Amino acid sequence: MKNWKTVYKTDKLYQAQIVKDYLQNKDLQPIIVDKKDFAYQLGYYEIVVTVDEVMRAIKLIEDDIKFE
């Protein structure tokens, strides 16, 4: 995963899935990385994209996705 960078973190799987789906609809290739501990359910999910897509992904997330 050397050429992949994190663009979003959350502890909620549904939010990670929404962000991933949105970025895919914008022709990016995001991946959800599960960093939660199986036994205790502590941790988070990361959305990662290739280095070439980082700036575009961050801009799309900041401009278009809001969770309250």
Q: Is 10 left (phi over 0), alpha (psi -120 to 50) or beta?
A: beta
pLDDT of residue 45: 97
For 5, 28, 38, 39, 53, the CA distances from 19, given in Å and listed in that order, are 15, 11, 22, 25, 14
Rounded to two decimals, the pTM is: 0.91
Residue 1 has pLDDT above 80, yes or no: no
Range of the domain at 30: 4-64
- For residue 39, the tally of other CB atoms under 10 A from its CB is 6
What's 30's domain CATH number?
3.30.70
pLDDT of residue 28: 98
At which residue do the structure tokens 């278009």 appear? 64
At which residue do the structure tokens 């959305």 appear? 47
pLDDT of residue 22: 98
Which tens digit of pLDDT belongs to each residue from 15-54? 999 999 999 999 999 999 999 888 887 999 999 999 999 9
pLDDT band at 59 (very low <50, low <70, confident <90, very high): very high
